[in-house]
Structure 1
Amino acid sequence: MTSHNSLSIYSRSFWLTLLVFAVFGASFFLYVESEREIDRANETRFNSHGLMEELRQSSDDLTRMVRSYVATGDTAYKKNYYHVLAVRNGKSSRPAIGKPLYWDLMATQIVDKTPNGGAIQDFAAGKKIAFFDLLRQAGFSEHEYKVLLQAKQGADNLVLVELDVMRQLETTGPRFDEIRDRLIRQLHGKEYIEAKTSIMSLIDTAHDLMDERTLRLVKEAEANSIRLRLVFILFGVLLLGLLWRAYRALHYTLGASLNDVHASLVKLGSGDFKQAISFNAGMSESIMGWLSVTQSRLAQLEDQKLIEAAKNQRISQLYNALSQCNQSILRITNEEDLLPGICADAVEIGGLKMAWVGIFDADANVIRPSASYGAGIEYLENLEIDISPFNEEDLGPSALAFINRRPEWCQQFQSDPRTKKWHDRGLQYGWKSSAALPLFMNKAVIGTLNIYSENENAFDDVVKDLLIEFSINVSHVLNRFRLEKDQRHALLMEELRSYLLERITFPQRLDELLTEVVLKIEALLPGCICSILLLGNEGRYIKTGAAPSLPDFYVDAINGLEIGPGIGSCGNAMFTGQRTIARDLSTHPFWVQFWPLANQAGLKACWSQPILSSGKKVIGAFAIYHKFPSEPDGFSLNLLEMAAHLIAIGIERKQSEDSLRQLSQAVEQSSNAIVITDSQVNIEYANTCYLRNAGKELAEVIGRNPSIMHSGKTAPEVYEEMWRQLQRGESWKGELINLYADGQEHTDLAHISPIRNASGVVTHFLAIQEDISDKKRTEERIKYLAHYDSLTGLPNRALLDELARYALSLADRSHDPLAVIFFDLDHFKDINDSLGHSVGDIMLVELSKRLVAAMRENDTISRLGGDEFILLLTGVDEHKVEQVVQKLMRAVNAPFRIGEYDLNVTASMGIAIYPNDGHDLETLSRNADAAMYRAKREGRNSYRFFTQEMQERSTRHLELVNALRQALEKQQFQLHFQPQLSMQTGHVLGAEALLRWHHPVLGHVSPAEFIPVAEDSGLILPIGEWVLRTAAKQWKQWQASGLPDLLIAVNLSAVQFRHHDLPALVTRILQEADMPPACLELELTEGVAMHDPQGAIAVMNNLHERGIRMSIDDFGTGYSSLSYLKKFKVYKLKIDQSFVRDITSDPEDRAIVSAVISMAKSLGLMTIAEGVETAEQLEFLRQQQCEEVQGYYYSRPLPADEFAAFFRNSLT
């Protein structure tokens, strides 16, 4: 072939290719348009179906709302009803939703999403347009529209009926419940349902016409699409054969190979929309991409159609089940038959997998299945659902529905955490979703309705509403059944009560009464066997009271059985006094040893109630047996309790009749005097003992007052208190001194009680008098000998033990100290040996009197024997003990005059302190005894503390007190002076006078040690006066030596500051030294000033008026009220050295110091810092603008001559 021919062939092929390509493009365009035409036809069909579904749903919702409103009276249903009508008639705007309207849930509708992310919006959203105008705009045919208008006319008529029903419901009055029941029957009646069915039939006819028309349009579009599809395929094959080089471009246009495109088209053409059409990434605009979109949209439409069909089927099934339930409610007359029928209808008619009803057991706090039906009910056997809300995560749907009083919906049973415990069973029985709805009775939850479905997400809004209505209907009928049952039980209880009370008053033996009671209860409760068991006189063994229906061998076996815990139901009830329920004797632990006997008698359950006397003492047990396992309900428990109570009344009445006869004999023969008077205290009865004591005959005392035996020796207060109590209606018990017929005074223990009639009015008094004269004298003598020393009359060791236990318990609660002192006389044996024991005894008696006189009233002294004594001192510390001991030593050391002898004795004492030295009397007395012997070893006529530490402290304190008393006289004190300098100039402004004490034996004693001792002993006043006077004299000497004026600061103790003569004393000292008041500064600690702020203000004002300056020492270590600080006449605050010491390393100390300086400035006060030892401390204080300082950085405290030299050097 020549090149020209080749070129011609190529050229022809090229142009032919172009032509074929053009035709291919045109066919492709037409094909796409045909697909879009299919989409438009399907969209029209989809919208038409949606409007029809909305019409169906709104009609159904109007019916359900009016029914719900009539049934519940909830105005929300009425409001929603009118809103639906307004939207449907174009009076209100349509909501913007993309699903069929569920009118009662419009606020929570979820908008569906298209695959491209856009919402499918109602094309009339937000507009006010009548629904039938919307149907016309949607393209409904005239014929379809006419059919719908007929349906609308019927619906409008039905609306008028519904509006009339709601209007009638608003009528109030005594017949309201009757009207509401009639309206409910009207809305569920045949006429209403037929009208509703007629409307729905017309709607279904219009729906079928619309479905036929839109389906035809869709099929026409699909047929056209198929023809264009074939043309497209033909030209595509031709194009591939002509132009291989165009393959790649064609590939990108198609988005896949021709085989793939062809396969996809075949699938779509055959109506297979389930399998997704895939295409390569980046080819979404290719033919395959459009085919995929088309397939996806067609699959969605098909899925929606299937879902809607399944939903409609489920709704229809539930409607049928609800209808069947309503019929059952009208037909069935008891709860036992109703609940199983409801469960069966829910499964068989409602299309559910399984249903069961659980009833709440308040005693066990669990829900137990009462009725069930469907797949998996075997798992409910012995099921008990605990509703205790300790951990909500452990609760399942039934418990949650019960506790929260609302339905629990589990749409995915296998993945819901609430059903985790039952996932395996759900997989076994095909449960894929479940619901638990509470059942109510008188507004209280009594159980749950539980249903299971084989479909996930089985409960949409419509189904939920139907099931809620279902549960409401069940609750209503349960309320009715329970009310009827309660009425029957109440009548039965009243009949039993009347019978028992009548028989109790009938004159007959106790065994006859109990037998009649048992037979009556058995007649009222068919199928039960009753028994009454009594508790023997010894209170341990069972005695048969009445059991006519029990076999003889069983009665013989339990008669004489010893009661105890777990001894059957009755044995346990009588032992514990608590009701005992054994619902299944074959498994109950209390019946293990008695089960063969019970089984032989045909007994399977036993409920036993203890019979309690009026004094709440167990006297028997009443039992009800059953021949099958049985759990008592509330009625049975109430009957048990009432029967046991009335049986107890009967038993006590019969026993009291016997007791009265015995009591009459006992009163007459009693060894105690017994008198009964009327309310005016005139004797109506007196027994033989009283008449014998009074020396009278009965006729002589009748009508007289019991005062005929008064001796006049009983205190008037006793009679006054007796009558106060009797007039209040209370019993009185006390001792009276009466004069008997034998002429002797006798002490009677009288017990007088008021006697009331049935109305509670006191009509008589009962007096029982026991002659306790001999007994009282004997008891008093025994008590005295048991608790007191026969020689001295002091408490002995036995009484001391009792008093010590009480004192130690008080000390333990109040955390107060307590001291035990053990002492005896030094060389007392010599007195006995030389002068005789009689003289020694007399001296011991005199010594006891001295010791008692020297002690406080609440202290205790006891004689152990011989010359040994123990003292018990409460609320004392070491120092107070010393004072008491010294007082006792002085009492002992005073001379004794015994007959012709003048005796001088000394004592050695040992001291133990609670709680440091022991927690009981034995330990404390032993330790005190050891300390006493140590005193004896160290010279006698002294005392010692038990522990070395306490001994040393006491010794040191005594040494300091004795030394301080002589320190002033022996001039052992001296003053040192520490310079106080100005921060601004560095010059000495003054000095703080500091007391120093050097003892020739004790050496240098720290002020921190001897100042508190001086304050406790009262020596601080003369010492403080010496300090003031010495400081003033020293100032005068410095002045005479040519030193300039300077300020001397002197510390005041708390005792000095509170002394009333302080201002006058200071003034005298200044005048004597000719020292200006402005040169003296008195330092007062923060704590002393705040102890009595008002008193401190008065003292400071007095000193201020005299021209004497005051400053607050150690500021920051105590507690100061700023309101009082402003009132204090002070001019300077001294910052305590504890804050200055760590001022460079502790941020808190720096903050405190800065705050004190700043506060002082704001109050117009100066500041001085003590304890300055480093340049860093000084620099910080300078930065904070502290005015004055003192401390070892400049100088230690100096003697007067050294201070004068330091002062002179600072001036140069």
Structure 2
Amino acid sequence: MITCTHRQPLETGHVHGMNKRLIRPNFSRNIWLIFVLYGLLAAAFVVYVDAEKTIGQANDQRLQSLQLTDELRQASNDLTRMARAYTITGKPVFKKIYQEILAIRDGQIPRPINHGDMFWDLFLGDEPEKSRAKSQEISAPLPPAALLDRMRAAQFTPQELNLLTQSKQKSDALTALEYRAMAMIDQGANTDPSLKLRAIELLQNPAYYHAKARIMRPIHEATELILARTTQRVQTAEQTALQLRWVFIALGIALILLWLRTYYILARLLGGNLDSVYHTISQIGQGDFKTTIPINTAQKNSVLDWLSQTQNRLAALDETRQAHETKINRMTRLYAALSQCNQAIVRCTNREELFAQICLDAVRFGGMKMAWIGEVEPETGQVRVVSAYGAGIEYLEGIDISLDPNKPSGQGPTGIALRTDTAYWCQDFIHDPRVAAWHERGAQVGWKSSAALPLHRDAHVVGVFSLYSNECNAFDEPVQNLLTEMAMDISFALHNFARETARAKTEAQRTAILARLEKITSHVPGMVYEFRLNPDGSSCFPFASTGTRNIYHLEPAQLEHDAALAFDRIHPDDLPRVRASIQKSAASLAPWRHEYRVANPNGATQWLLGQSLPEREPDGGTLWTGFITDITQQKETEARIAQLAHFDALTGLPNRILLLEHVDYALVSAQRDTTSLSLMFIDLDHFKNVNDALGHAIGDELLVSAANRFLGLIRPQDTLSRQGGDEFTLIIPECNADSATRMANRLIEQFNQPFVIGHHELNITLSIGIAVYPDDGGDFDSLSKHADIALYRAKESGRNDFRFFTTEMQIHSDRVM
């Protein structure tokens, strides 16, 4: 075999290029053909299976058609046998079966499951009934369907249906004769034997047999037509299935041949077998770019040939990679220096410490020979070296660097960088005229390139970061970008140091002020505070006086960084409103004022009043300054006043003011809903005797017990009020006269039970006057007036009773007045 690793001449390459273009389309086309053949094969299989199903369906239709024609023949024969059996035996069961056969054939009753297999003349007595009952236990009978309708559903041809219809019509005509013979038996064959003989003769004479023959002849002709038609269909389906079977086999053979052809084309395309291609790919994958892959003329433009070309390109790339490794290593060192610089910025607490660490990292990690950082002295315009590290730091002893462009010491890289606020890159230190004043010193330590980068604080140039290398052109663009980023990080640290110094000074001043404020607020009632809502939604109390212990029962230090504990103390029902009021005040910067409750650790509830003024902070937060006072006692006093204004002090029942509010609402509801309302005036009979005999203390306890007994007997929507003394008023919404009667009886019955007050058992009865809205009045004044009149009549009638207001009472009352 001839091997070749050099490039082919143009003509040979052109020929192989043509071969490549031919092989690729052939292979792709064969793959597509394989998919197409697979699809055709699957389709042929599906059609073949459908053809086989068609054969089965044709056979099923043939069998069904023959069964239906045979059922017509059998029904005609069964009718004859049942009619003859009846005329001979006279048993009613045969006549019943005869009628059932006709009804089944005409679709008047359901068909038995085994109807087509029954031989009715073989049953005796009640055997047909037992047989049908047993069949129905196994499965339900078939639905009723006329025999001719079932034939139409089975797709009989018009000619076949015409013959079978003729047969059925002739059979129906013959039933008239059979019914006449059975009628003779019914007329008295047992008493007149001649009738029975004539009935038998009617079903046995030649005319009867000729009629039967006329029935059977169309059935026979229809059967011949059905056999011819269904046989043709079965044969056609079988022929189609056979043809599809051969198509399926032909497609399978074509697919196998195409697979073999495709494998041959694939071998040519790969340039060898799969094992050799796999071995070559593994060789390249393991990084072996030097071992030559032998390629002969026949393998040109194959996968192996392309792998050989790829190997040559990878070898060239490997050489390029090695050429760049030095540069990458240098960049890696600089990245490490940048990382160390960032870590130093985080760790160091002052600029001197930071500068020393930066210079150390630039030399140790960045590969520089020497690095130093200097600061500008504003008074003299000179650059003072603050920190330095590396070989040749003696170079910096007594060095003169100025910002003045008119001085030679101000025309070097450092002076230019500080004046222009731009980094200066000196790629050839010994030959750069701008550093002529420092050539002698640089030559002594072997520096060949340098860089000077300005440092900033608050957007002002305040210093310089200088680096030196023993290689020319050491500061290419990637290196420049990294060093520029490092200078920016140093400037950021300088800004933070300045800000931290200012913050520490401010914090010291704030601490002193807070100490004085704490001393003052410790003598002020309540809690003086500063509350801050941060932009992220968190909150805290930067300042809180010692009154926090009495307001929230917390130490001020617990709320200094997080106000969550204070919000946890707020009553759950009030917390959403408190948060909403704070958000509203923060949005509008309106003064905050809110009353709310807090739950103390001992379980007691405390009312607080908070008032403060908000102001916006530079970072977008909001700071409130104000105070919180305890208003628990004030709230309790207000609640007591409200209680006394609307409720009876002794029983806790609504007084007249609250009663009027409830009555107005109840009357409006009754008017709107067109319902009734009952008003009862109730007196405790002889209550004065209890006060006189046992004292007012016992009387008051009795009133309280009576009120509680009333409340246990009425509904939640009813209103009971004490009007003074022993007088009570009861408002009952949605209550007509009948309901009021039941309620009054229930009250009187329950109050007949004695009250036990201390050691006394007291019996008290009730007198009740009732007025009903709207019959007795449309407002409270008229209803109460009429209820009072009815109460007076109840007392007159002997007490321990109730009375409804009537017109006669009003007339009598007017007459008395």
Asked if TM exceeds 0.5, the reply is: no
TM-score (normalised: structure 2): 0.30
Bigger RCO (CA 8 Å, 6+ sep): 2
TM-score (normalised: structure 1): 0.21
